[in-house]
Chains A and B, each alone.
Chain A
Amino acid sequence: MSSEAATAARPATASVRAGGTLSLLGSELLTLFRRRRTWAMIGALALIPVLIGIALRVAGPAPSGRGPAFLGQITENGLFVGMTALVVAIPLFLPLTIGVVAGDTIAGEASHGTLRYLLIAPAGRIRLLLVKYTAAAVFCAAATLTVVIAGTIVGWVLFPIGPVTLLSGVTVSVGEALLRFLAIAAYVTVSLLGLSAIGLFLSTLTTVPVGAMAATAILAVVSQIVDALPQLEALHPWLFTHYWLGFGDLLREPPVWDSFVDNAVLQAGYVVVFGALAIGRFLTKDVLS
């Protein structure tokens, strides 16, 4: 045993630890975004605004009052393509892609057998969960931004662009509107953090990633169905999907942040509960794959 290796085996300072974890996170993000599957999902999300834009460009404006929110405004102002696409993507497409990424976190490594090699590296079980969750959260942001950015570009190319009339009737400049859209992207990203935590937990339960992915996506749908049943109203404020479409307040003048905060608190609750469940499960799990 050389003395150099002996020194390397003993972390000198806390900064070595933090640097090591950042290094692992970097490696994890590189792995996630080097996968063809990740880019296929990003591409599919970018297709939503493209489809909406082309359909409206070819077929003309929809009769008012029909179709998803903001659809009617697109032909007058292309900036609304991104918002329309987001409203379309939130109930199913976005949760599906999050389900794939979050459900794959641990189960995917287990199915490849790489989980045992990460653990004996040693990655540390809690550290690995934190890094995996952070990477999933980064994917939430990437997925949401993809829809908004692709939508804005499509709108810019296909339709006239101009100052945006907000829900409260005030008109704001294009620059201000884009800032609002960024805030909405942040809102939707936060919305997906609870689901990611659920996916992470489900992923620690199995070595079959498809199972964890499907279960995560199904839970998102079930939660929205429950949220639509008035008989179960008492449950509604506790559902992680409850505030998913509640970002309209950010399109008021001045913006109302109440729903943003309510949503963030609710999502934080889910992250804490399912994060704790994931840690509890993963710390005691026998890794046999």
Chain B
Amino acid sequence: MPDLAIETHGLTKRFRSQTAVDGLDLAVPRGAVFGFLGPNGSGKTTTIRMLLGLVAASAGDARVLGADMPRHVDAVLPRVGALVEGPAFSPYLSGEANLRRFDAADRHAPRGTRSARVAEALDRVGLSHAARKKVHAYSLGMKQRLGLANALLMRRELLVLDEPTNGLDPQGTREVRALIRSFADDGTTVFVSSHLLAEVEQVCSHVGVMSVGRLVAQGTLDEFRDAGEARVLVRTPDPGPGRAVLARLGLQLDGAGQGGADAAGEALVAARLGAAAVAPEAIVSALVDAGVRVRGFDVERASLEQRFVELTGEGFDIVQ
């Protein structure tokens, strides 16, 4: 059994009649960059609040860095840096003063190095020039950077980052990705919640997907993608016979076999490989044998987004 940075068993949170988080069994290995995915309202932030001891679980237990939460909050949290549900600061204080304040709240943070650590954290997120500005004059992106700086005041074993790229410009987003990678290289475990799947796909080694308060999948990014179904795309002027061949091979045709057309007006036939373990080259030769003119052929592995939608549903409405 691998060493886990975060481990929960049956973690549940009920607010009156509503169950926000339902029987969560999370396992985040040490050193992983764990992408915690889920639509809005799926229970991600409530889970993070339970992991950090802000909210008491209704049932189940959580261990963070090997210690029970929330019982060992005081011992665990100094080793954890976090950004929870957006940055929050006292607007009438400067960015620097806000960081000094949070640092003073951590009794394990040495006072002697406070100024140096605050300056270093501000520098790391590119805010040195705005350090003495009052936070109410900060833009959303600057507040987000300051929130990240707060998580970096001390060397951490675990970083919990809730939507870290929210409100950031493309440069900021790239920097956050680079930061996350550099932490991972140092051996820091990063638990990053997001609904920006492309972001997660680029930096994460592991993913977990929440839907309506439940964890519907978790594992390494590769396992997760492999679990998705590959699709076959055939570009051909003979869509009718093409569909017939694919159906005969046991592939499930998309969109009731209607297919579609590409930008050049060429017909596209799409089908899910599904349970039919047919090799791609066998499909092509079957098509050619049947006289179908194949002008393009592609096997797409499911993108994270497709997997995500498969797991959490298409609907746009907030489920709870």
Interface residues in chain A, defined as those with a beta carbon under 8 Å from any beta carbon in chain B: 1-2, 4-5, 8-11, 16-17, 19-21, 23-24, 26-27, 30-31, 34-36, 112-114, 116-124, 127-128, 284, 286-288
What residues of chain A lie closer than 8 Å to B108, measured between beta carbons? Answer: 8-11, 16, 20
Which 8 A-B residue pairings sit nearest by Cβ, starting from the closest?
A113-B88, A20-B107, A121-B105, A27-B104, A5-B155, A123-B105, A122-B77, A287-B54
Chain A residue nearest to B107 (CB atoms) is A20
**Cα–Cα distance between A124 and B49 once the two chains are bound (Å):** 15
Q: Assuming the A-B contacts A1-B187, A284-B56, are A27 and B154 also in contact, with contact meaning beta carbons closer than 8 angstroms in the complex?
A: no
The answer, among B84, B91, B104, for a CB contact under 8 Å with A24, is B104
The answer, among B53, B85, B106, B157, for a CB contact under 8 Å with A1, is B157
A-B pairs with beta carbons under 8 Å apart, 18 shown: A1-B155, A4-B155, A5-B156, A17-B107, A21-B107, A24-B105, A24-B107, A116-B49, A116-B52, A117-B102, A120-B77, A121-B103, A121-B105, A124-B73, A127-B107, A284-B56, A286-B55, A288-B55
> Are the CB atoms of A112 and B88 closer together than 8 Å?
yes
> Are the CB atoms of B88 and A8 closer together than 8 Å?
no
> Are the CB atoms of B110 and A117 closer together than 8 Å?
no
Chain B residue nearest to A19 (CB atoms) is B111
> Are the CB atoms of B97 and A122 closer together than 8 Å?
no
Determine which residue in A9, A26, A114, A286 has the highest number of CB atoms from chain B within 10 A of its CB, and name it: A9
> Are the CB atoms of B150 and A117 closer together than 8 Å?
yes
> Are the CB atoms of A16 and B107 closer together than 8 Å?
yes
The answer, among A31, A122, A286, for a CB contact under 8 Å with B90, is A31
The answer, among A8, A30, A286, for a CB contact under 8 Å with B56, is A286
What residues of chain B lie closer than 8 Å to A27, measured between beta carbons? Answer: 100-101, 104-105
> B74 within 8 Å of A by Cβ?
yes
Chain B residue nearest to A128 (CB atoms) is B105
> B122 within 8 Å of A by Cβ?
no
B146 CB to closest chain A CB (Å) equals 11
What residues of chain A lie closer than 8 Å to B82, measured between beta carbons? Answer: 120
> B260 within 8 Å of A by Cβ?
no
> B79 within 8 Å of A by Cβ?
yes
> B241 within 8 Å of A by Cβ?
no
> B287 within 8 Å of A by Cβ?
no
Q: Which of under 10, 10 to 19, 20 to 34, or 35 or more describes the interface residues of B?
A: 35 or more
Besides A31-B101, A122-B105, 15 other A-B contacts (C-beta < 8 A): A2-B155, A9-B78, A9-B108, A20-B107, A34-B93, A112-B88, A114-B89, A116-B84, A117-B88, A119-B54, A120-B77, A120-B84, A121-B102, A122-B73, A288-B49
> Are the CB atoms of B74 and A26 closer together than 8 Å?
no
Within 8 A of A (CB), among B25-56: 49, 52-56
> B271 within 8 Å of A by Cβ?
no
Q: Assuming the A-B contacts A5-B154, A8-B78, A287-B49, are A114 and B88 also in contact, with contact meaning beta carbons closer than 8 angstroms in the complex?
A: yes
> Are the CB atoms of B107 and A11 closer together than 8 Å?
yes
B315 CB to closest chain A CB (Å) equals 26
What residues of chain A lie closer than 8 Å to B107, measured between beta carbons? Answer: 11, 16-17, 20-21, 23-24, 124, 127
B184 CB to closest chain A CB (Å) equals 14
What residues of chain A lie closer than 8 Å to B105, measured between beta carbons? Answer: 24, 27, 118, 121-123, 128
Contact with A along B105-132 (1 / 0, CB 8 A): 1111111000000000000000000000
**Cα–Cα distance between A2 and B110 once the two chains are bound (Å):** 15
Chain A residue nearest to B98 (CB atoms) is A114
**Cα–Cα distance between A287 and B109 once the two chains are bound (Å):** 23
> Are the CB atoms of A121 and B92 closer together than 8 Å?
no
> B80 within 8 Å of A by Cβ?
yes
Q: Assuming the A-B contacts A1-B187, A24-B104, A27-B100, are A119 and B53 also in contact, with contact meaning beta carbons closer than 8 angstroms in the complex?
A: yes
What residues of chain A lie closer than 8 Å to B154, measured between beta carbons? Answer: 5, 8
> Are the CB atoms of A112 and B89 closer together than 8 Å?
yes
What residues of chain B lie closer than 8 Å to A31, measured between beta carbons? Answer: 90, 93, 97, 101
**Cα–Cα distance between A27 and B99 once the two chains are bound (Å):** 11
What residues of chain A lie closer than 8 Å to B85, measured between beta carbons? Answer: 113, 116
What residues of chain B lie closer than 8 Å to A1, measured between beta carbons? Answer: 79, 155, 157, 187
Chain A residue nearest to B156 (CB atoms) is A5
**Cα–Cα distance between A117 and B187 once the two chains are bound (Å):** 24
A30 CB to closest chain B CB (Å) equals 8
> Are the CB atoms of A122 and B78 closer together than 8 Å?
yes
> B10 within 8 Å of A by Cβ?
no
**Cα–Cα distance between A116 and B73 once the two chains are bound (Å):** 13
> Are the CB atoms of A120 and B110 closer together than 8 Å?
no
> B228 within 8 Å of A by Cβ?
no
What residues of chain B lie closer than 8 Å to A30, measured between beta carbons? Answer: 97
